[in-house]
Structures are given as structure tokens and as C-alpha cells.
Amino acid sequence: MNNIVELENKPAAIKQLAAQAALYSTAKTLFSLQLILSVPVVIGVAFLALALDKEWFCLQKRDISAYVGAFGMCLALLDTLLLNPLISYLRGKGATIQQSFDSAVLALAWNDISYGKRPDQEDIEFWAKRNEKLVAAGKFSNWYRPEVRDLPADAARLVCQRANCWWDMQLRRRYNICIGIVGVLLFASLIGISLALDVTTTTFFSLVIAPFLPFVATAPKLVLDNREAISRLEAMKAAVEDSWSQALQHPYDPAVFAPSSQSIQGGIFNNRSQSPLIFDWLADWLRPQNEELQRQSTEQYVADFKTAHPHLYP
């Protein structure tokens, strides 16, 4: 009843998915660098300072607390002036290419005001080449569930948009849990080391508080940004479900869904371009479970629609 599955598996669409994935992955690599500098490196530097202060491992006693504090400040500046702007640029470019895919596959009008100018084909080709192996392995095939082919185009679009919102919400909720666990373990480790070695107040602030600053500058903002993103996604998902409920309770009218679908898509784009990145390992770990849940959910949506509108299925 629609050609979403055929369109999403065309070579041009696969290239768009491969390109946006490569852009997001590059941004995630930079974000990983941020976390490495903020967590294990911080612990290592703090431990080195304590080892020098206590003359462990036959090291000559030396006070490097000032250098440790300066290191933490430099990391904070690196994040603010270089890494964060670059990550934001890559994420925005990836979101624009992904929106180009959605506009073509879901038959949504392109809005220059909301999405900016369409991505250049040269950019798509350049970034897609970085994921040629994943393309060959079928990683980007059937981006949306094949079951949606049994729905009219406008109804199928709503189901796909709901899937986008639900999937992103699931990842962000798990992501916030991971951030909280890492933060507690990091701070507890630094506090534990300080208490065990009975460091002075001055040393505590220079060896614990200062090195912890990069994480403090990053983690709470990530959690809050994720919560805001989840709140927006919940609102969009509720709007989709309200439109879907109307579709089941009233005679089917495709024209009813166009305005809400366009508005919801604008929210999805904003979320992609502004919200914190989710690590690939977390998405890959949750993928089998989420895909199975979405398969079951999509099948139920299709069954409900067929029951509500049997005249469309002679």
C-alpha cells in the first residue's frame, strides 16, 4: 500500500544512511576523547600526584598539585573552545543528511527554514565511503520495519515517526543511567584514595576537585539535556499516538495526517541536531531487543489498522 520499504533500500537512500552514520560516529569518537580525558586520564593524573607526594614506587617526593589543577582547567577549555563546537557541527550535518533520507522515504516536504539547505551530494558520497563495509553487510537495509508496507502511506509514516521517538527515548534513558554510574564510581574512587592516604585539605582540592571539573562540566549537562530530549520525544510520541487514535476511530482521511506529520518531523530533526550523542556500543547492545520490540509493536499497529478499516483490504 506504500513504497517506503522500496525507497529506503534504494542505493541513494542507503548512501544517505551510511553518510549520516559516519558523521555521527566521528562526532562520537571526539566525544569519547572527551570522556577519556575526563575520567581515566583524570584518575591517572591524580594517582601520579599522590604517588609523588607519598614517594611510592621509589619516586622522588614532588608536589605537582598546581600542575594537576592546571590540567583540569585546560581540559575544560579544550572542551569549550574546540571539542564541543566540532561535535555540534558534525552532529548537525548528520541530522541534515538523515532528514534528507526521511524526506525522500516518508514523502515529507523539505523545509529550508527548519532544516537548512539540502546536503550536497558530494558530502553524502564522501562520508558514505567511510561506511562501505557496513553497507555491504546490510547494516542500513530495512531502516524502517518492513511490516509498514501493509499500511497506507500516511498511516505508515506515523508508525515510522513513532518508532523514531520510541527508539531514541529508550537509548537516552539507558544512557543517563550509565552516566550516573560512571560519575559515582569516579568521585568515590577519588574520595577513597584521598581518605585512605589522609591528604590535606589543600591537596584534596587540587587532587580531587580540580581533576573532577571536566566531568562535572560535562556529565550534569548531558543528563539534563537527555532529560529534555526525552521530554520532547514523549510529547512527539503522544502527538503521533493521538493522531493514530483518531485514524482508528474515524473514517480514514489521509489529508488529516499531513500537518501533524510535518510538525512531528520538525521536532525529530531538532532532537537529532541538538541532543547529546549516544555511543554506538550502547545502541548496538540494545539493538536486538529494541528491534524485536518494534517488530511486535509494528505488527500490532498494522493489525489494529486493518481491523478499524477492513474496507481498505478487500
Residue 240 near residue 165 (C-beta atoms within 8 A): yes
pLDDT digits (tens, 9 = 90+) for 75-107: 888 888 999 899 999 999 999 999 999 999 999
Quickly state the pLDDT bin for 38 (edges 50, 70, 90): confident
Residues 154-171: what's their mean pLDDT? 96
Amino acid found at 91: R
pLDDT digits (tens, 9 = 90+) for 183-214: 888 778 777 766 776 666 666 666 666 666 66
Residue for cell digits 500516511? 154
pLDDT digits (tens, 9 = 90+) for 209-239: 666 666 776 788 889 999 999 999 999 999 9
* pLDDT for the residue numbered 234: 96
Query: How does DSSP assign 256-293, residue by residue?
Result: GHHHHHHHHHHHHHHHHHHSPP--HHHHHHHHHHHHHH
User: 108-117, 141-150, 192-201: which range is least confident on average?
Assistant: 192-201
Contacts of 176 (CB under 8 A, 6+ apart): 222, 223, 226, 227
Quickly state the pLDDT bin for 119 (edges 50, 70, 90): very high
Residue whose C-alpha is closest to residue 15's, from 197, 143, 174: 143
C-alpha cell at position 166: 520510541
- Displacement of CA 15 from its chain's centroid (Å): 20
Q: Is the pLDDT of residue 126 over 80?
A: yes
b/e map of 118-130 (b: 16 or more CB within 10 Å)? ebeeeebeebbee
* pLDDT for the residue numbered 30: 94
Residue 73: HSE in the Cβ half-sphere, 13 Å Cα cutoff: 7
Residue whose C-alpha is closest to residue 98's, from 24, 149, 3: 24
Distance linking the first and last C-alpha atoms of the chain: 12
Q: Is residue 207 packed enough to be buried (19+ CB in 10 Å), middle (13-18) or exposed (0-12)?
A: buried
3-class SS of residue 154: helix
- The DSSP symbol for 252 reads -
Neighbours of 186 (CB within 10 A): 20
pTM of the entire predicted model? 0.84
